[in-house]
Amino acid sequence: MALCLYSACLPLPQHPVNVNFSCLSHGLGLINRSISSSRRRRRSIISPSRSLRSQILPSARPETIGSRVFVVSDLHTDYIENMTWVRSLSSNIYKKDVLIVAGDVAETCSNFVLTMSLLRERFQHVFFVPGNHDLWLRREKHNYFDSLYKLDKLLDACERLGVETKPSIVDGLGIIPLYSWYHESFDEERDITGIRIPSLEMACKDFHVCRWPDGLENGESSLALYFDSMNDKNWNTVKDIQRRCSHTVSFSHFIPRLELCPEKRMLFYPNLPKIIGSNFLETRIRSIHGDVGNPSACHVFGHTHFCWDTTLDGIRYVQAPLAYPRERKRRMNGGDDWLPFCIYADGCFAEKLSPCYWSDYYAVNPRTPNCTELAPWVARFYAKTL
């Protein structure tokens, strides 16, 4: 994600099981020097090895009949380690399978094309929706007039490579990519006050390295609505999928519901919910899967780098991010051997991801957004670094 995410170790005493929680890390690319230096100072406070999260086990079964469907988000292959991870994926075992890539593949077009080429060599089908990093112009500002122009070029590249960006049916499973962008008003929960939280413009590079046509502004509802309306042209195919498929997986880069992110008081950047999600996206998802959902409905997302697997109002929501090398080193998402995550095989959705740190936490702890008392690791961070 283009977020500047702070990390820390977080023993959560509220958790029902007496385990040591480890690092909550988030990939905010802080653009403010003073905050960056705060992060450097913080590293001396936090030991990544203090308590590592439990390993998530791979879910794929080799004896599966027919296509399996795997999911991953936030590949960020501008990092050499992440491109190496992509190269290390087997060239044999996924030959009949599908991979859903829920955005943030790479910042540069060359890394995007290389990544998608490698994935196409390994999987029979690769599906993609763009994330914010994919539309950054920082290193390529002279190549693209704006971020929408870059999006067109990435979609052209996908077409050349055989990467699928439109709804389709594979072995009876409906697969529906959904365009989206975040808007600040998505966050309706009470703000944290009393500490100096960096502004969105300071914390989020998208405000500086994405460029939009006149009338569209980063963080505004108009931009989120613009992206949402890109889905209209595929709606006849979506209707066809609704008629023909018993199981359907939709996917987006951004998050459709606030409940899919930890509460503000848990976050090193408490304003994170303002730059992660879209209400228009949730409306789209409900128009596909129904207001009450169904056991055959799943939505995959990315962006926040928090591994997640939960069911809300009848729809299963899953995030399986590769994330940044530093986040994997702390095993914030239970290592990386379980990725890509097999979400569908033998005509069924997979068992729940386990252990799944934050969604496990919220499965047994109520969300209390009116409580603005900082979690201890956040309070310590702001007391010492800002």
- Interface with Fe ion (CB under 5 A), residue from 130, 131, 174, 270: 131
Distance of alpha carbon 332 from alpha carbon 7, whole angstroms: 10
Pair type for strands 247-251 and 297-301? parallel
How many residues belong to the site for Fe ion (CB under 5 A)?
5
Q: Give Dmax (Cα) for the chain.
A: 57
Cβ–Cβ < 8 Å for 48, 329: yes
d(CA 306, CA 94): 25
Tell me if 336 contacts Fe ion by CB under 5 A.
no
Binding status of residue 247 toward Fe ion by CB under 5 A: no
Chain residues 221-240 in contact with Fe ion, contact rule CB under 5 A: none
229 burial level (CB within 10 Å; 0-12, 13-18, 19+): exposed
Q: Is 272 an interacting residue with respect to Fe ion (CB under 5 A)?
A: no
> In terms of CB distance, is 204 or 288 closer to Fe ion?
204
* C-beta closer to Fe ion: residue 247 or 305: 305
Binders of Fe ion among 91-130, rule CB under 5 A? Answer: 104
Q: In the beta sheet, which residues pair with residue 311?
A: 316
Q: Which is nearer to Fe ion, 203 or 345 (CB)?
A: 203
Q: Which is nearer to Fe ion, 12 or 151 (CB)?
A: 151
**Amino acid code (one letter) for 275:** I
Q: Which stretch binds Fe ion (CB under 5 A): 1-9, 179-187, 255-263, 366-374?
A: 1-9
Binding to Fe ion by residue 72, rule CB under 5 A? no
On whether the CB atoms of residues 112 and 82 are closer than 8 A, the answer is no
DSSP 195: S
Regarding 27 and contact with Fe ion (CB under 5 A), the answer is: no
Among 7, 77, 82, 132, binds Fe ion (CB under 5 A): 132
Tell me the residue nearest to Fe ion as measured from the CB.
Answer: 1
Task: Please identify, using beta-carbon distances, which residue of 29 and 334 lies nearer to Fe ion.
Answer: 29
Binding flag, residue 319, Fe ion (CB under 5 A): no
Gap between the terminal Cα atoms of the chain: 23
Q: Does 48 bind Fe ion (CB under 5 A)?
A: no
Cα separation, 149 vs 143, in Å, equals 9
Q: Which residues bind Fe ion (CB under 5 A)?
A: 1, 104, 131-132, 303
